[in-house]
C-alpha cells in the first residue's frame, strides 16, 4: 500500500547525489522518462518498487532490458515487511 510522502524519505537518503531526483509515480512513467532522456552519458539510479501501479517493477526492468539502452543504470529494490 502507498504511504503518502514516502517518496520524500527516499529523496532524503539520496540528497547527496549531484543530480536532481526525478520521482515517477508508476513504472510506465519511469520507463518513458528513461527512454526519452537517455544518451551515451546517461546514468540512472532507480529505487524500484516492485508493486508499482500501471507497470510493476519487474515489467519496468524487462522493458529497459528489451531496449538498446546506451547509458549506465543501477537499480535498487528495497524490501518491505507487511
- Residue 60: count of CB within 10 angstroms of its CB: 25
Find the mean pLDDT for residues 1-17.
53
Q: In the predicted model, what is the mean pLDDT of the chain?
A: 76
| Entry pTM | 0.68
Please tell me which residue, 41 or 63, carries the higher pLDDT value.
Answer: 63
User: What was the pLDDT predicted at 1?
Assistant: 44
Sign of CA dihedral 15, 17, 22, 28: negative
Whether 47 and 76 have beta carbons less than 8 Å apart is answered as yes
Amino acid at each position: 500500500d502507498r504511504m503518502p510522502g514516502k517518496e520524500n524519505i527516499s529523496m532524503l537518503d539520496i540528497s547527496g547525489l549531484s543530480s536532481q531526483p526525478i520521482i515517477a509515480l508508476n513504472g510506465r512513467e519511469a520507463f518513458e522518462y528513461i527512454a526519452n532522456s537517455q544518451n551515451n552519458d546517461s546514468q540512472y539510479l532507480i529505487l524500484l518498487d516492485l508493486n508499482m501501479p500501471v507497470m510493476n517493477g519487474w515489467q519496468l526492468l524487462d522493458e529497459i532490458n528489451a531496449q538498446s539502452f546506451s547509458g549506465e543504470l543501477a537499480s535498487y529494490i528495497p524490501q518491505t515487511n507487511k
